[in-house]
Amino acid sequence: MNRSCFLSLAVLLLAATVAHAQTFGLGGAAPKQERVTAELVAAVSAAAPGQPFQAAVKLVHAKDCHTYGKVLPPGVIGKPTKLTWTLPEGWQIEELPWPATHQVPSTDGAISEGYDGTVYLPVKITPPANAAVGSSAELKVKVNALVCDPKSCLPFPKEVALTLSVAAAPVPNAANAAAFGSTPAAEKKSPEPATITPAAAEAKPAATSAAATTAPAANPVAAPKSPLPFGQLLLYAFVGGLILNIMPCVFPVLGIKVTSVVQQAGEDRRKVVLHGLMYTVGVLLSFWVLGGVAIALNKGWGSQLQSPAFNFFLAAFFLIFALNMAGLFEIGTSAIGVGSGLQSKGGLGGSFFSGLLATVVATPCSAPFLGTALGATLALPASQSMLIFTLIGLGLASPFLLLSLFPGLISALPRPGAWMESFKQGMSFLLFGTVGFMLYVLTNQIEGLPVLFAILSLVLIALGCWIYGRWALPHKPARTQNIARLLTLLAIAGGLWFGLPNASAKRSHAEESVNLKDPDALHWETWSPEKVAALRAAKQPVYIDFTASWCWTCQVNKRVYTDTGLRALFKQHHVATLKADWSDENETIRLALEALGKRAVPVNVLYIPGAEEPFILDELLTVGNVTAALKKLEK
């Protein structure tokens, strides 16, 4: 080996030795600090059977490092932090609102939103009532986060655990008392999800903002009020379902069924009763499915309408129905018309399908009383929640069921005749109106060319229906019928494919600061928990409109804001008006609604300076009830 090779090898060995020593802290070198550490902490050192307590995942970030919140704000590039809990059998967990994120430096030098310093991500945990005193339980949580410093980002998967003993009474953990507030352990005062107050734990000097502690802050939206008696909730559920029958999104379906009821007027009572029961079963089955999904996924009422694809399919579905009722074509045995055939033939399958359809189109509506009943399901066991969904379904199905159980009411209806075709065609315009409403919803969810594609695709679907009605007739040659059916399938399938919106087509819901068409209009700003907290801290009244483009009642409510007297009251009291648009899926808005005890929109609330809890208005707004709410600011 020559001298130069030997020297090169010696240098490499020396470098490797130094690197090894630095890595393992040898030779006096300090070990490298972790970007973030995770720990599971609780407000108690011993839990009690059936008594909830607070716990939190404590994240401690190194200097200049940050992670992200549960939901990424618009425009922020990163990865939401996710917690996956593993608890012993029978132990229940309830999410609490996380602290607000704040501005942090990103890797490209821009400003991002996230957490740094020390932050607590809180939950409420309830042991089973039959937990054995003297036993112990291990609580586990897996943290999946993205931790970033000014140069790079790395995934942070970490599982942490905490073992608690079970005692006859909860034992507060003095070491964590400052982080959780003074009385977090047993939460004896109220069954509400308690909030964790800002604390001085992990306190830092005022110049150390990068390492500031973010304790589990109080939710800027108040916790739900004490639940109503369960019997009253069931009554609200039934009445709310009953009122759904007269809502614009449900009435078209009832109009279709009126036709079939009239056709059955001359039939025997047993068959008519069966129709009513099948319709009711269809409604109930739909509500049980929706209720089960809502409970399992913790989704809100009408959340499926946050999907542009679902709304597009619904628009196409109602268009085909409307064209059928208008007389453009008659459904035969083609697979395209299975749904419409069941509906229009009036058999037991048609009544069952009508019940399913009634529930699908009812979801954009949150009738008076219904919002209260749905909101209560947040704090109820699954069995009681499903009973509430059952009562809503019975309320929706009751008019048709009543007609079937009392055939005298049916016999009082006009006898079948030639007038029925005109009636049927007239009812088609209600469905065309529903198609128009679904297109309105789509224009609030997507923008640009995808809107045009959706409209043109409906034209292509209508062309397919016309081909079917023109050439797929029984008296036409078999070859002509088959070609017509094939072209119909191609037109409808092509239209659905051509117009189907995708995720990239979603539009931004940023609010315009000025309404140029109406300079006197209220100035609506985009809602956020941070904005609410800042306005309330400044002692300014805050009015929040939780709304969605797919919510018909929400659109009806907007008419009150055109009243000049009402606008004057808003300006007189310097009320900040915020709009929380739930048209698309938004976890932060969902949690805010749940904190108010609500699960559906519309929800309108007024924060009065000096009052801890907001004033919640009725679901259906009038100039009178909004004025009465604003008058409370004068007291």
Confidence (pLDDT) at 551: 79
Q: What is d(CA 94, CA 237) in angstroms, rounded to the nearest whole number?
A: 24
pLDDT on residue 627: 94
**Number of Cβ within a 10 Å radius of residue 448:** 9
**Burial class, 265, CB count within 10 angstroms (exposed 0-12 / middle 13-18 / buried 19+):** middle
* d(C-alpha 590, C-alpha 448), whole Å: 28
The beta strand positions in 19-131, using DSSP E, are 36-42, 44-47, 53-61, 82-86, 92-95, 102-105, 111-114, 118-126
Q: What is the pLDDT of residues 557-593, one digit of tens each?
A: 888 998 899 999 999 999 999 999 888 778 888 888 8
Quote the pTM value: 0.42
**Which residues does 357 contact at the CB level (< 8 Å), separation at least 6?**
253, 282, 339, 343
Distance CA 621, CA 625 (A): 7
pLDDT, average across residues 161-169: 89
pLDDT at 70 over 80: yes
Instruction: Compute φ and ψ for 277, nearest 5 degrees.
Output: -70, -40
Domain made up of 36-214: CATH architecture: Sandwich (2.60)
Query: Span 524-634: which CATH code?
Result: 3.40.30.10
pLDDT for 335 equals 32
DSSP character at residue 85: E
Residues in the chain: 635
Using the predicted structure, report yes or no on whether residue 277 has a pLDDT greater than 80. yes
pLDDT, tens digit (0-9, with 9 covering 90-100), for 472-508? 888 888 898 899 889 989 988 988 888 888 655 555 4
For residue range 7-62, what is the model confidence (pLDDT) as tens digits? 444 444 444 444 444 433 444 444 456 889 999 999 998 999 888 999 999 999 99
> How far from chain centre, in Å, is Cα 294?
9
Q: Look up residue 565 and give its DSSP letter.
A: H
Checking if the pLDDT of 155 tops 70, the result is yes
What are the structural domain ranges in the chain? 36-214, 230-430, 524-634
Q: What is the pLDDT of residue 209?
A: 36
> Residue 123's closest CA among 175, 177, 56, 31?
56
Contact 342, 270 (CB under 8 A): no
Please report the pLDDT score of residue 127 as a whole number: 92
Cβ contact 199:181 at 8 Å: yes
Between 212 and 435, the more confident residue is 435
Residue 142 has pLDDT above 90, yes or no: yes
CB 550 within 8 A of CB 440: no
- The pLDDT, as a whole number, for residue 107 is 55
Note the pLDDT tens digit of each residue in 464-480.
Answer: 999 998 888 888 888 98
| Among 68, 251, 218, residue whose Cα is nearest residue 156 | 68
Q: What is the mean pLDDT of residues 113-141?
A: 90
pLDDT of residue 569: 92
- Of 85-99, 253-267, 270-284, highest mean pLDDT: 85-99
3-state secondary structure 230-292: HHHHHHHHHHHHHHHHHCCCCHHHHHHHHHHHHHCCCCCHHHHHHHHHHHHHHHHHHHHHHHH
Between 279 and 56, residue with greater pLDDT: 56
Of 146-155, 186-195, 514-523, the range with the lowest mean pLDDT is 186-195
Provide, rounded to the nearest whole percent, the portion of the chain with pLDDT above 70: 68
**Average pLDDT of every residue of the chain:** 75
pLDDT, residue 376, reads 62
Residue-level pLDDT at 552: 75
Rounded-to-integer distance, Cα 114 and Cα 146, Å: 10
CA distance 149 to 109: 11
Amino acid 36: pLDDT: 92
What pLDDT score was predicted for residue 109?
A: 57
Q: Which of 387, 364, 367, 365 is nearest to 377 (CA)?
A: 387
Across-strand partners of 579? Answer: 526, 545
Highest mean pLDDT among 73-82, 138-147, 176-185, 373-382: 138-147
Q: What CA–CA distance (Å, rounded) separates 377 from 385?
A: 5
Mean pLDDT confidence for 288-307: 68
Is the backbone of residue 215 left (phi > 0), alpha (psi -120 to 50) or beta?
A: beta
Confidence at residue 139, expressed as pLDDT on a 0 to 100 scale: 93
Of 70, 72, 74, nearest to 83 (Cα)? 70
Give the model confidence (pLDDT) of 219-272 as tens digits.
333 334 434 677 887 888 888 788 777 665 566 566 556 666 666 655 666 777
